């Protein structure tokens, strides 16, 4: 079980609940949100039996190997700020991974964190009225993945060649989340979008395929709009604004 003592020492005043096993920390955090918990409350688990990913996918949550946590965020942000909030959390995850494992991350729009081209972390944000439940999953010490995930997934351990402290990573992650959310609430989405564009090889001039409601769009990325949606120049010269969907290299 993750040792919460050093994390609590660095995060005094934050409520952190850690469970042995649960279906999904998203549901646990929503329960706490509805009970009136404070903003910043974290629920994590050693294992999730029904971990949720974006676009209805599952999130593989091997016991004790990763960080699986959801935060309750009571913000003054509106629905239109959700893409920037998701990117702020992606930036925070990438920064904490680099600080912990000494490996360089890439960000794939809207919210995948990549190491050596493979996914090591993902963000799932859910709006509940004015509040947000934000889930962060990081593959930390997995030494292998199920066959169907193996070609596209990695962990900090696989990428860095040594096992990593989940406690150290969680403490840095929470610190970075606070810093990026402060930036977002104080200055609005623009600085977050600028930082994301700098940190991501997917935002400008990248040949991609975007899966959209049964359609696969091929084109070249052309920056973000003011809300953080992805501009795509299709091969026939037309333009599309991508609001959601899976982006992959062409």
Task: Kindly list the residues in this chain that would bind ligand BTN in the complex (CB under 6 A).
Answer: 24-26, 48, 51-54, 57, 59, 68-70, 112, 122-124, 135-137
Contact 76, 148 (CB under 8 A): no
Pairing of strands 246-249, 204-212: antiparallel
**Of 123 and 159, CB closest to ligand BTN:** 123
**Of 59 and 109, CB closest to ligand BTN:** 59
Pairing of strands 106-108, 131-139: unpaired
**Of 191 and 246, CB closest to ligand BTN:** 246
- Tell me how far, at minimum, the Cβ of 209 lies from ligand BTN, in Å: 17
- Tell me how far, at minimum, the Cβ of 244 lies from ligand BTN, in Å: 12
Dihedral angle computed from the Cα positions of residues 137, 115, 58 and 38, in that order, rounded to the nearest 10 degrees: 20
Of 219, 179, 188, whose CA–CA distance to 91 is shortest? 179
- Tell me how far, at minimum, the Cβ of 167 lies from ligand BTN, in Å: 17
**Of 209 and 233, CB closest to ligand BTN:** 209
- Tell me how far, at minimum, the Cβ of 66 lies from ligand BTN, in Å: 8
- Residue nearest ligand BTN, CB atom distance: 122
**Of 123 and 203, CB closest to ligand BTN:** 123
Of 125, 129, 140, 228, whose CA–CA distance to 177 is shortest? 125
Cα gap 43→28, rounded to integer Å = 7
Of 60, 70, 58, 5, whose CA–CA distance to 31 is shortest? 70
- Tell me how far, at minimum, the Cβ of 8 lies from ligand BTN, in Å: 20
């Amino acid at each position: 079980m993750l040792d919460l003592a050093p994390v609590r020492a660095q995060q005094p005043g934050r409520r952190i609940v850690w469970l042995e096993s649960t279906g999904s920390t998203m549901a646990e955090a929503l329960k706490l949100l509805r009970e009136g918990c404070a903003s910043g409350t974290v629920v994590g688990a050693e294992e999730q039996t029904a971990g949720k990913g974006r676009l209805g996918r599952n999130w593989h949550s091997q016991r004790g190997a990763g960080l699986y946590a959801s935060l309750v965020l009571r913000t003054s942000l509106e629905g239109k700020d959700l893409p920037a909030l998701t990117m702020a959390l992606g930036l925070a995850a990438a920064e904490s991974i680099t600080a912990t494992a000494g490996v360089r991350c890439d960000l794939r729009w809207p919210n995948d964190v990549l190491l050596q081209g493979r996914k090591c972390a993902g963000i799932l944000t859910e709006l509940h009225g004015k509040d947000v439940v934000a889930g962060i999953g990081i593959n930390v010490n997995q030494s292998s993945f199920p066959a169907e995930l193996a070609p596209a997934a990695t962990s900090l351990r696989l990428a860095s060649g040594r096992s990593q402290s989940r406690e150290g990573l969680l403490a840095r992650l929470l610190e970075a989340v606070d810093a990026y959310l402060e930036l977002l609430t104080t200055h609005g989405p623009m600085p977050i979008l600028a930082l994301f564009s700098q940190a991501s090889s997917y935002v400008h001039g990248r040949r991609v395929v975007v899966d959209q409601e049964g359609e696969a769009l091929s084109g070249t990325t052309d920056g973000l709009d003011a809300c953080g949606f992805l501009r795509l120049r299709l091969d026939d010269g037309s333009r599309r604004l991508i609001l959601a969907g899976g982006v992959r290299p062409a």
